[in-house]
Amino acid sequence: MADVPGYAALAESLNAQGLDVAAIKAALKAQKIETPSWGYANSGTRFKAFAWPGAARTTREKLDDAAMVHRMTGIAPSVAVHIPWDKPEDGDYTGMCQYAEQQGIAIGAVNPNVFQDDQYRLGSLGNPDKSIQESALDHMLECCDIMTKVKSTALSLWFADGTNYAGQDSLRGRKRRFEEGLTQVYKQLPANGRMLIEYKFFEPAFYSTDIPDWGTAYAWALKLGPQAQVLVDLGHHAQGVNIEQIVTFLLDEGRLGGFHFNNRKYADDDLIVGSTNPYELFLIYNELAGAELGHDEPSRSCARDVAYMLDQCHNIEGKLQAIIYSVLNCQEAYAKALIVPRHTLAGIQQNGDVLAAHRLLSDAFRTDVRPLLAQVRLEMGVPTDPIAAYLASGYEAKIARERGLADASGGFQ
């Protein structure tokens, strides 16, 4: 098998820096990115979802599309589901799991929906109405049962709960309702399951959000137990927040459960990951790779068990190409993080040479790793240029012809 153009020269350069190219390639081949079922449907902004020819209309069509992304990239072997958006047409979750496996993928995280129904206008677990709290709790317990049926190991929780006005509700009361509800859900997790608690500092609530930051999610994870961890969504932070520092802290505490990868210019824009700030994505992966390759516990074990998931809404740019691009951007950021000469960097940091340390890290970010990634894909037996291969496959035209222009779905109108 001949090497791809440019790979030999890059490998020689990396070897000269004392890096193990074979180990880097092995890590890239083991990388996994979970795609979101709702990303394949006609979903979009809070204001309008534009229909796209061929967008998935059913759960099986979403699974078909996810399988296509995995065939093109080789590193997207699972798909997250959102309940009830992904309730199978026949109600058979075991059958849905089997269908996914037949397509060469698996069901990943299960996401309960406790925000779209009218009853959740004032919240779900934080709602002052006991009957609505119980309704939300019942749905999350149902999702724990679904986890077993689809062989999922992650319950991914995001809440729209909060208040819009001072005095609207008791902030202490909402905190306690949440703790009580989460405790009941935690007790029903499958034995091998994890509860991933997501946070968001604003929107759709604008005065207070019941899980406003990573510290709140972390505090509750500690109270709940070892199966509870924090989920970091890149869009759920104020401007200028140092997300990689949050990631490092949670890794060191063994409480980083997973990511919802996306990108934002202003708020929770849910754009293609790496499209606005690729340097931030690299810096996040740099911390993850450093922990994964290091010897410090629990950071090392935690890093190797992180759930890497996309959470994006492709409203104007189509579906599968955008998701493939997101997967490739994660792959590129990880590759750049893997080529950081960590032993050299640690020595420079110890000596207090500020600019030398910064330049060494920046040089890794500026390195063109595309030949390395193309070589890895060649050795994995997937297309060296996944987007070009997808466009040449005819799949886009096929699903547009067979599915047509569907109504908005995936919970959006």
Q: What is the pLDDT of residues 79-118, one digit of tens each?
A: 999 999 999 989 999 999 999 999 999 999 999 999 999 9
pLDDT at 89: 83
Structure-block tokens of residue 199? 């946070």
Cis peptide leading into 88, omega within 30 of 0?
Answer: no
Asked if residue 129 has pLDDT above 80, the reply is: yes
The answer as to whether 389 is a domain residue is: yes
The CATH number given to whatever domain includes residue 275 is 3.20.20.150
Q: Is 271 a domain residue?
A: yes
- 312 within a domain of the structure (yes/no): yes
Q: Does the structure show a pLDDT above 90 at 247?
A: yes
Question: What does the block give as tokens for 298?
Answer: 């629990």
Least confident range from 45-59, 267-281, 319-333, 358-372: namely: 45-59
Q: How far is CA 353 from CA 290, 339, 350, 362, 371, in A?
A: 20, 20, 8, 14, 31
What is the DSSP secondary structure assignment for residue 3, as one 8-state letter? P
As a whole-number percent, the residues of the chain with pLDDT over 70 amount to 98
* Average of per-residue pLDDT across 193-200: 98
Q: Report whether pLDDT(301) > 50.
A: yes
Q: Is 353 a member of any domain?
A: no
- Residue 211 included in any domain: yes
Supply the pLDDT for residue 115: 95
Beta bridge partners of 36: 80
Average pLDDT over residues 152-177: 98
Domain count, the chain: 1
In a domain, 344, yes or no: no
Query: What tens digit of pLDDT does each residue of 211-241 get?
Result: 999 999 999 999 999 999 999 999 999 999 9
pLDDT tier for residue 46 given thresholds of 50, 70 and 90: low
Q: Is the pLDDT of residue 314 over 60?
A: yes
Please, which pLDDT band fits residue 408 given cuts at 50, 70 and 90? low
Has residue 350 been placed in a domain?
no
* Burial class for 137, CB neighbours closer than 10 Å (0-12, 13-18, 19+): buried
Spatial separation of the C-alpha atoms in residues 349 and 62, rounded to whole Å: 47
What value does the mean pLDDT take over residues 371-384?
98
Please tell me the pTM assigned to this model.
Answer: 0.96
Does residue 397 carry a pLDDT above 80? yes
Range of the domain at 164: 7-338+369-403
In a domain, 301, yes or no: yes
Query: What integer pLDDT is reported at residue 216 of this predicted model?
Result: 98
Mean pLDDT of the chain: 96
Measure Cα distances from 283 to 274, 290, 336 in Å.
11, 10, 10
Instruction: In whole angstroms, give the CA distance from residue 209 to residue 91.
Output: 34
Mean pLDDT of 142-167: 98
What pLDDT score does 412 carry? 45
Res 41: pLDDT: 94
Q: Is the pLDDT of residue 272 over 50?
A: yes
pLDDT band for 12, please (50, 70, 90 cuts).
very high
Average pLDDT over residues 144-171: 98
Q: Looking at residue 112, what is its pLDDT?
A: 98
**Which pLDDT band holds residue 350 (cuts at 50, 70, 90)?**
very high
pLDDT value at residue 23: 97
- Per-residue pLDDT tens digits for 63-75: 999 999 999 999 9
Q: Give CA 161 to chain center in angstroms.
A: 21
CA pseudo-torsion sign 413, 113, 148, 308: positive
Res. 413 pLDDT band, cuts 50 70 90: very low
Residue 271 clears pLDDT 90, i.e. is over it: yes
H/E stretch holding 157? strand 154-157
